[in-house]
Amino acid sequence: MPLRFAEPATEAYRFPLTIRHLLDSALTTASDRRIVYRDQGSWTYREFAGRVGRLASLLADLGAEQGMTIAVMDWDSHRYLEAYFAVPMMGAVLQTVNVRLPAPQVAYTLNHAKAEILLVHHDFFPLVEAVLPSLPGVKAVVAIMDGTQGALPAFAKGEYEALSAAASPDYPFEDFDENAVATTFYTTGTTGNPKGVCFTHRQLVLHTLACNAPFGAADGTGFAYKDVYMPLTPMFHVHAWGVPYVATMLGMTQVYPGRYEPEMLCRLHAQHKVTYSHCVPTILRMLLDAAEKTGTDVSGWTITVGGSALSPQLCAEGRRKGMRLIAGYGMSETGPLVSVARIRPGTEGDDAAEIQALTATVPAPLISARIVDDDMNDLPHDGQTRGELVLRAPWLTPCYTGDAKASETLWHGGWMHTQDIATIDPDGYIRIRDRLKDVIKTGGEWIDSIQLEELVATAEGVVEVAVVAMPDAKWGERPLAVVVVRPGAALTLETLNAPIEAAISQGTITRYAKLERFAVVEGLPRTSVGKIDKKLIRATHADNAQAGVA
Amino acid sequence: MPLRFAEPATEAYRFPLTIRHLLDSALTTASDRRIVYRDQGSWTYREFAGRVGRLASLLADLGAEQGMTIAVMDWDSHRYLEAYFAVPMMGAVLQTVNVRLPAPQVAYTLNHAKAEILLVHHDFFPLVEAVLPSLPGVKAVVAIMDGTQGALPAFAKGEYEALSAAASPDYPFEDFDENAVATTFYTTGTTGNPKGVCFTHRQLVLHTLACNAPFGAADGTGFAYKDVYMPLTPMFHVHAWGVPYVATMLGMTQVYPGRYEPEMLCRLHAQHKVTYSHCVPTILRMLLDAAEKTGTDVSGWTITVGGSALSPQLCAEGRRKGMRLIAGYGMSETGPLVSVARIRPGTEGDDAAEIQALTATVPAPLISARIVDDDMNDLPHDGQTRGELVLRAPWLTPCYTGDAKASETLWHGGWMHTQDIATIDPDGYIRIRDRLKDVIKTGGEWIDSIQLEELVATAEGVVEVAVVAMPDAKWGERPLAVVVVRPGAALTLETLNAPIEAAISQGTITRYAKLERFAVVEGLPRTSVGKIDKKLIRATHADNAQAGVA
């Protein structure tokens, strides 16, 4: 027999999962709650909905229509949140521009995404001025003066607030196909051009609902409608991890901090009693230092930490100040929600056990997570066996825009390849061990370069270290440690291997991890976003290594 | 321009919202958690998944296929949960049979739903034996002996556990169109045949995700993966309010109590430290009495109360015993989630304010809720103005199966008509005031029959009362109080009107509410499910009323 389908009433509403519906219950239940922007103002959800309508109207006046890309270059603001809603709700595509990229890459992403209208904060006027000549597709730039009094630049069609004030708040938003693209942005690799990912209305609505499950868990790690939210991951970066959509759906009080300035962040936190944020470890470090300096009480502040691993040390430090810190894992391609930490039931109050659990993550609802070998065979969930983490979920990017080859690689075998090497333990806790391209495959074993680096870093005289794989005729690959040495220290292979041998005897790393060679360098090369450029290190040392010089 | 659509990678997984995916993260993160059945056994999620596979295999052996209806008549059990997953996951339709209906109505619903295979607990063998001759479509009955040793009835093809043990745990579940129907069941009105509603995979997955938001709210009213769940609303009734799907998705420990026996419920609660349940007020009353009798500590037990209004008195009584009680609102047609209570931020700890908030409800995410007049015009959210509550959400039944006329009425104007009269306050709290058909429309005002009944019930000498609308040439309608009087009491219009006049002078009811007539009866007529049959009362008294006798 065929599957059974219902015969809907003629007028039964075919409810598409479009972003506009995320506002519905907030408008009913939180219409007087406020969305705050720095120390410059606040708006109720009712006013916010009017401003969303005005933004759509002003964009339409500038020629915006369905399917068009509209790009935003702004700090985290209520305006950015307005664009999160207005642009997709009118059927257009929101491009969140990574303003930290070099100008040529910004130009590349705007051209590649076919952006036709730009909303630009005055801090980025020089950047826009530099790239505009290479952006033939851009029809209009709206200047965001952000309360300052300067003259409008010649390239601007008008100013955000002035245009908004003159536009109608009653834009006739309609429902449409939930599979329409809502947002796009670009990921940055260590080489080559940025790659564009995109997300549909359906994907973002599902991402929002699924986010709410683990983040909203009633175990002291989550949030609810009564919380006060302040993002500390830029809104151009993977939808600020999707939380602005969740916070709006729940009608939470929201605080947008503009450009991240440590003392402003502390002040906003104190003034609005912020209870929930999310950030990368670097920002957390900065927050803790700023809080120390300004005497800010950060207790009761729940922060999801992602982007890089939340170390147990940093987690413990934040907890000592009364923060609740939770690891999160995801990437640009995943919307980003994949997995979130949670306390292991029965271990509540046991500090070490809580830190252990809170620095790993478990899959969110509707995430299918596997670890697999090179042939996509499942590997055991024993907390030890390493494999590539591959995923299915309803909100993963379907492709890299206009890059069929990279898209096919991403989705090879019907699963999205994270290129992260992970272990999964019997209770589902995922730990990311290394990047696939950085792992060292030697004698049938996988060695995490990160684990090896952590060991070598403890050796006497080592300032900084990167471990990379070098091709090896007999073993496939062998590790090479590239080390920055403390002035005056005499580094030997024995010194470097001391902590590795200790780990081997404790059984925490394979005996194949023992080094046969190392290279001493002045400093480690880094990428534009500050990560160690292992690709360059591999290339630099390949010849030496093959010649046996290192 | 047209909407923009992505060009997915060839192998990009088109993730449909099918019920099988609700199991994925539970299997990764909670494979050793247990699902308990009374005092008869428990199974880990890993074992549960195997039993789901076995059930699908045994059903396939009996001829089950996609699109076929498979009906369950069981008490709340791990088996029922297996059917919640196995039947829809194989593309068949799960009919949850209301075993409390009279036999002819049970037969009607099975025939109307085209049920071909029945899974029947031995308590319902007499019922099945009575109706089987009128069920020509039924091809196979599986007997559930539930650990008892009796002989299989002649009509059974086999026994659940025996067939399950012989079947393969590895049924090849596949994904398919998320819009396929997953479940069906029948609503019971006060007259006419039951009406069938149905829900698709997509609807149930979205309902599950949306349930998790308000119920899982981190405000002390919700639940999370660490909770222990026991349903106290039958699994045949609107998916046990959808919570078994949520509990499974989150990997919660689940306790299925079989037939509801107060002392067993208390024992299971104590043994497994149940922290979350849901029920109607009658069951809550029974629980509180049983807890008193057995000395069971019910503190820390969170219970969502729906079906009928959670009265402030009952709420307060449960809270005094340490329960956390939360009102919920929904109906068969809505899956059932519409709205759930929450504490008003800032009033935490204020007992009266909490009770006030917890006995009303606010819309869940993705619920569009309006109150409207007869012409579907919006009415103000002032907490006073009454209108019909109409809804949109992605999980409302698209129709009454095979009843086009009732379906069109349900969805008239593109909104689902609840036929409930409600107020909404500025913070979104919905209070259900009356059923549309019971409200009294007089002189341009709406009077809630329920409010009027509550007032009249306090009058001296009144044992029980129903207030119904009678047609009136001048006012449209006027209220008629039909009263059961305490033996020996002399009831007058003045006595009855005393509390009403007090309410009028306090401004809590319109002056049109004052009665001009009443009727004294021996007892009030009730429907099969125990509700007062106002339709019959109206019919009985219509002639008298028109003749001015009452």
The residue behind tokens 């992605």 is: B394
**C-beta of residue B291 within 8 angstroms of C-beta of residue B303:** no
A535 included as an active-site residue: no
d(CA B253, CA B187): 30
Q: Is B263 exposed, middle or buried (0-12, 13-18, 19+ CB in 10 A)?
A: exposed
The partner residues of A469 in beta bridges, in order of sequence, read A479
Cα–Cα distance, B118 to A212 (Å, whole number): 38
Rounded Cα–Cα distance for residues B320 and B288 (Å) = 11
User: What is the number of other CB atoms lying within 10 angstroms of the CB of residue B133?
Assistant: 8
| AA identity, residue A471 | P
What's the 3-state SS for A154-190? CCCCEEHHHHHHHCCCCCCCCCCCCCCEEEEEEECCC
Calpha distance B347→B219 (Å, rounded): 12
Beta bridge pairs of residue A69: A93, A115
pLDDT at B189: 64
Burial (Cβ within 10 Å: 0-12, 13-18, ≥19) of residue B231:
buried
Nearest CA in chain B to A197: B6
Please say whether the beta carbons of B373 and B389 come within 8 A.
no
Q: What is the chain A residue with the closest CA to B217?
A: A224
pLDDT tens profile A381-412: 999 999 999 999 999 999 999 999 999 999 99
Read off the pLDDT band of A189 (50, 70, 90): low
Which CATH architecture group holds A19-424?
A: 3-Layer(aba) Sandwich (3.40)
Options A139, A157, A437, A441, the catalytic residue: A441
Q: Does domain B21-424 have CATH number 3.30.70.330?
A: no
- Contact A253/A34 with Cβ under 8 angstroms? yes
pLDDT of residue B280: 92
Q: How far is B222 from chain A (nearest CA, A)?
A: 7
Other CB atoms closer than 10 Å to residue A490's CB: what's the count? 8
pLDDT digits (tens, 9 = 90+) for A455-468: 998 998 998 899 99
Spatial neighbors of A227 by CB under 8 A, at least 6 apart, are: A252, A253, A275, A276, A302, B218
3-state secondary structure A93-136: EEEECCCCCCHHHHHHHHHHCCEEEEEEEHHHHHHHHHHHHHCC
Q: Tell me whether residues A222 and B220 touch, CB distance under 8 A.
A: no
Q: How confident is the model at residue A450 (pLDDT cuts 50, 70, 90)?
A: confident
Q: Which of A4, A363, A399 sits opposite B28 (nearest CB)?
A: A363
Question: In the Cβ-directed half-sphere of A200, how many Cα atoms lie within 13 Å?
Answer: 23
Which single residue is written with the structure tokens 């079906």?
B307
Active-site position among A200, A359, A446, A453: A446
A185 at B interface, C-beta within 8 A: no
Cα–Cα dist A294/A302, whole Å: 19
Digit-coded pLDDT (tens) for A95-137? 999 998 889 999 999 999 999 999 999 999 999 999 999 999 9
pLDDT digits (tens, 9 = 90+) for A281-290: 989 999 999 8
In the set B437, B441, B514, B535, the catalytic residue is B441
Residues of chain A with CATH 3.40.50.12780: 19-424
Q: How far is CA A32 from CA A45, A48, A251, B408, in A?
A: 6, 10, 9, 36
Closest among A459, A501, A502 to A481, alpha carbons compared: A459
Which chain B residues are Cβ-neighbours of A362 within 8 angstroms?
25, 28-29
Pick the CATH number of A440-546 from 3.30.450.20, 3.30.300.30, 3.30.43.10, 3.40.50.300: 3.30.300.30
A200 to B6: CB separation less than 8 angstroms, yes or no: yes
Q: Taking a C-beta distance cutoff of 8 angstroms, is the pair B387, B304 a contact? A: no
The minimal CB distance from A410 to the residues B5, B9, B407 is found for: B9
Helix (H, G, I), strand (E, B) or coil at A241: helix
Q: What is the pLDDT of residue B118?
A: 98
pLDDT recorded at residue A222:
76
Task: Tell me A334's DSSP state.
Answer: G
| CA proximity to A91, closest of A143, A26, A160, A20 | A20
Sign of the Cα pseudo-torsion (B11, B16, B19, B23, in order):
positive
The count of residues in chain B is 550
CB contact under 8 A, A2 and B67: yes
A104 CB-near residues (< 8 Å, 6+ apart): A131
Q: Which of B11, B176, B345 sits opposite A408 (nearest CB)?
A: B11
**Residues from chain B contacting residue A223 (CB–CB below 8 Å):** 218
pLDDT at residue A546 tops 60: no
Query: What residue spans in chain B does CATH classification 3.40.50.12780 cover?
Result: 21-424
Q: How far apart are CA B378 and CA B392, in angstroms?
A: 14
Under the banding of pLDDT at 50, 70 and 90, the label for residue A215 is confident
Residue B253 corresponds to which tokens in the numbers above? 């420990």
The interface residues of chain B toward chain A in range 193-252, judged by CB-CB distance below 8 A, are 198, 200, 205-206, 209-210, 212-213, 216-220, 222-227, 249-250
pLDDT in tens, A27-62: 888 889 999 999 999 999 999 999 999 999 999 999
Reply yes or no on whether B408 is catalytic: no
Q: Could you give the percent of chain A with pLDDT greater than 90?
A: 75
Q: Does B7 touch chain A (CB under 8 A)?
A: yes
pLDDT at B544: 61
Residue of A nearest to B91 (CA): A3
Number of neighbours of residue B505 by Cβ within 10 angstroms:
10
Q: How far apart are the first and last CA of chain A?
A: 68
Is residue B353 within 8 angstroms of chain A, CB to CB? no
Render pLDDT for A69-82 as a digit per residue (tens, 0 to 9): 999 999 999 999 99
- Indicate if the alpha-carbon torsion angle B17, B18, B19, B22 is positive or negative: negative
SS3 (DSSP) at A320: helix
CA distance B450 to A343: 46
Q: Phi and psi of B56, rounded to 5°? A: -60, -40
Strand B115-121 to strand B69-73: parallel, antiparallel, or no bridges (unpaired)? parallel
Residues of B in contact with A49 (CB under 8 A): none
Q: How far from A314 is each of A305, A321, B340, CA to CA, in Å?
A: 10, 11, 38
Report the C-alpha gap between A211 and B466 in whole angstroms. Answer: 47
pLDDT band for position A296 (50/70/90)? Answer: confident
Closest CA to B12 of A390, A330, A410: A410
Residues with Cβ within 8 Å of residue A121, at least 6 apart in sequence: A73, A74, A75, A77, A144, A146
As a CATH number, domain B437-547 is 3.30.300.30
- Per-residue pLDDT at B548: 42
Concatenate the DSSP letters of all residues of B181-213 into one string. Answer: EEEEEEE--SSSS-EEEEEEHHHHHHHHHHHHH
Q: CA B327, CA A210: separation in Å to the nearest integer?
A: 24
CA atoms in the 13 A half-sphere facing the CB of A296: 26
Report, as ranges of residue numbers, the positions in chain B whose pLDDT lies below 70.
Answer: 189-191, 218, 220, 528-530, 543-550
B375 touching chain A per CB within 8 A: no
Q: Which amino acid is at A295?
A: G
Q: Does B28 lie at the interface with A, CB-CB under 8 angstroms?
A: yes
Q: What is the DSSP letter of A480?
A: E
Report d(CA A541, CA A377) in Å as an integer.
33
CA distance B99 to A467: 67
Question: Is B441 marked active-site?
Answer: yes
* Residue A113 tokens, joined: 């995404």
* Residue A393 touches partner B, C-beta closer than 8 Å: yes
In the predicted model, is pLDDT for residue A148 greater than 50?
yes
pLDDT value for B346: 83
Catalytic residue among B43, B241, B411, B446: B446
Region class of A396: left (phi > 0), else alpha (psi between -120 and 50), else beta: beta
**Three-class SS of residue A514?**
coil
Could you give the CA distance from residue A313 to residue A285 in angstroms, rounded to a whole number?
Answer: 11
- pLDDT score for A549: 44
Secondary structure of A373-405 in HEC code, one letter for each residue: CCCCCECCCCCCCCEEEEEECCCCCCCCCCCHH
Distance of CA B269 to the CA centre of its chain: 22
pLDDT at position A437: 85
According to the model, what pLDDT value does residue A528 have? 62
Q: Does B44 touch chain A (CB under 8 A)?
A: no
The two three-digit tokens of residue B234, written as one number: 């039958």
Helices (H), B273-311: 281-294
Q: Which of A114, A159, A187, A540 is catalytic?
A: A187
Would the CB atoms of B3 and A345 count as touching at under 8 Å? no
Which residues in chain B are classed under CATH 3.30.300.30?
437-547
- The percent helix, strand, coil of chain A (3-state, each to 5) is 35, 25, 40
| Cβ neighbours of A25 in B, within 8 Å | 362-367, 369, 428
Whether chain A has a CB inside 8 Å of the CB on B183: the answer is: no
| Calculated CA dihedral for residues B293, B297, B299, B303, nearest 10 degrees | -50
Cα nearest neighbour of A341 on chain B: B29
Catalytic residue among B82, B116, B178, B333: B333
Instruction: Name the token pair of A64.
Output: 């915006």
Rounded to two decimals, the ipTM of the complex is 0.91
The values of phi and psi at residue B263, to 5°, are -75, -35
Please report where in the chains the tokens 């990437």 appear, as a residue. Answer: A331
The verdict on A300 touching B (C-beta cutoff 8 Å) is no
